[in-house]
Structure formats: structure tokens, C-alpha cells
Amino acid sequence: MKKALIHLADGRELFYFDRSDAADRSAPDERDLPPRPLPSEMRYDPLMDEWVTIARHRQTRTHLPAAEECPLCPAHPGSEVPSWYDVAVFENRFPSFSFGAHDYEPVGGLSEVRPGLGRCEVVCFTPDHQASFASLSPEQVELVMEAWVDRTAELSALPGVEQVFCFENRGAEIGITLPHPHGQIYGYPYVTPRTRQILDSAERYRGNLFADVLAAERAGPRVIAANAYWTAFVPAAARYPFEVHLYPHRQVPDLPALDPAERAAFGPVYTDVLRRLDGLFGVTMPYVAAWHQAPVSERRELAYLHLQLFSIRRAPGKLKYLAGSESAMGAFVNDILPEEAADMLRDQENQPD
């Protein structure tokens, strides 16, 4: 893999990840861009013991442009990526978190206010606007994995970053603003609520909670796909109509800790699961794919890297909306029995692509 760095017209960093050492990445970004926005604002919620980020500048971000104007397609006047690429990663132009000096006025009450210092990046999986992660070749998936590994390590070393989160939002139903195949990486200035809760559970458990969950699922009826290094299964208490977790068979805290064989073995299992999801109802399946990694500087020995993949589609033409119980109370009600969801996904094995 070859990695090359350039700077965009407003000073943001862009990294090319290429399979060929001969790739020429010298083309400059010739756009006339406005100055980068100031950092967002974080406000503390004392009732939930959580930070909420207010990023007003994101109201102006690009929203569902025509295909010929897509900023993730390479080498056109409005593109964020000046050259054709294999995989490209760049600082988000409309970030939820960024670095820079800024002061905020107190808001009163019991809420503390801080600048939203951190980093947000966009990962372009392929230059092909019509592709999807499921359609990537094994070699392309491995290159995306190397980009995730590199960026996780780099963002983890930034001052103030406490957790690195790699994820993909796919589909209009999920709320994407750009349909081009891409993901994002957040470098949070705190440990997220979900991760805190999971690690609290692991800390209370007598034994290795993640390893025991994986062992139980591998012996049970909800496994979807597996190889020598990874297992994909529907969790027993799935919150979403179709939810799959992918675990490496060896406990590691984060993506950089995977060895070369584990990195190479991820793609075949993951793309198999994605194709099964797309085959369920004959329509492109919306989903969120979320890498759960250890915090940068605390309780790393407890964490167990895994990928959570879930969709809000429950049937053709029907979505699972996170309405009153889920959104207000955080109490999930699933419409599909996890064992039935696993059966439906396994039944896609012999279906044509």
C-alpha cells in the first residue's frame, strides 16, 4: 500500500491509499473555498451524564447533489478529491468536531460548555459512484481496512481524542446526504455513552463478557457466516429488525491490533453478510455499520473490537421507526424474532446476486 498526503484549498488534509507505488497524486485542489468553520459547541447534559454537540455550520453541508456534481467522485471542478483514487480519506468540510481556538459564553443552568475539539474524516471506498461496499473486490476491501487501521492509529495519537469511531451510513432511509459509497471516522473528545455502558457491563461481569457472548453465539442458531478468523451472527437481543455483529475470534482492542491474516479475512465474511441483506427484499438495504473500538486511554484491556451492522427495514416498503419507546425512553421493541431474522439471512446463501 502507498499512502500520499496533499492539502486541499482550505488547508484540510487528504490522504490517498493506493495499491500501486506508481500512482501520481500531485494534482492540486484549485477550488476557491471559504475559510474552515470554527469548532462546534459541546454542552453537558447533567441528567443523562452525556455531552451533546451543537454544530450549526453543518446545516449548510452538501445535500443529495446530482450524480455529476457529487463531491466524492474524483477529478471534476467541484470534487473534494482532485485525482482519481483507489481509496481516499480527507478531513470533513462540515465536521462535527475539529481543532481550533474558540470561546463560548456560558448558557446558564447546570450545563457546562466546551468547544467540540476533535477530528472528522470522510472515507471514499471507491471512485465508482454506482458501487456499494458489498460489490467491492476482496483487494479493495483490504485497502479500505488498511485505511481504517491507519486513520485509527493517527487519530488516536491526536491530543484530546479519547475514542475513534469508524462507520458507514448507507441509504436514503438512514438519512445520508451523499449516496456515493463512503464512510466516516470520528475522533471524539470523550468516551461515547454506548462505549461507557458496554465497558461498565464488561467490568461487572465475572469473566470475559465478549468472549463468552461470542462462544455462546458460535454454538447457537443465529450464526450467519464465518471463517477461521471471524464470525457474523444475529445477537439474541437484537434491537433492530435485521442486526448482525461481526467478531474476530481473537480479542483485540481496536483495528490496528488485527494481524494481517485477520485483516484479510474480514472482507469475505462482511461482504457476504451485506449481499444477504440486499437479497432479502429485492431492494437496496439501508444500514448503519459501526466499528466498536476501545477508548484511547482507558479500560482498553476490557474492550473487544467488533462491528455492529443494523438496518431499519423490517419488510418491503416498511421501516422500523425509532419512535416513542425507543427515542424517548431508550427502550427498544423489535418486530422480528432474531432467530427468524437469522434464518432469513441464511436462506439467501444460494440466491443469485
DSSP 3-state assignment of 261? Answer: helix
**DSSP alpha helices (H): ranges in 69-137?**
none
Distance of alpha carbon 27 from alpha carbon 74, whole angstroms? 11
**Candidate list 7, 102, 180, 182, residue with the active-site label:** 182
Tracing cell 445535500 back to the chain, one arrives at 63
By the 8 A CB rule, do 283 and 153 touch?
no
Instruction: Using alpha carbons, select from 254, 34, 277 the residue that is nearest to residue 155.
Output: 254
* 7 catalytic residue (yes or no): no
C-alpha cell read off for 129: 459512484
Residue 165 CB-half CA count within 13 A: 24
Amino acid in the structure at residue 78: G
Question: How much helix, strand and coil, in percent to the nearest 5, is found in the chain?
Answer: 25, 25, 50
Pairing assessment for the beta strands 242-248 and 287-292 based on DSSP bridges:
unpaired
Active site residues: 182
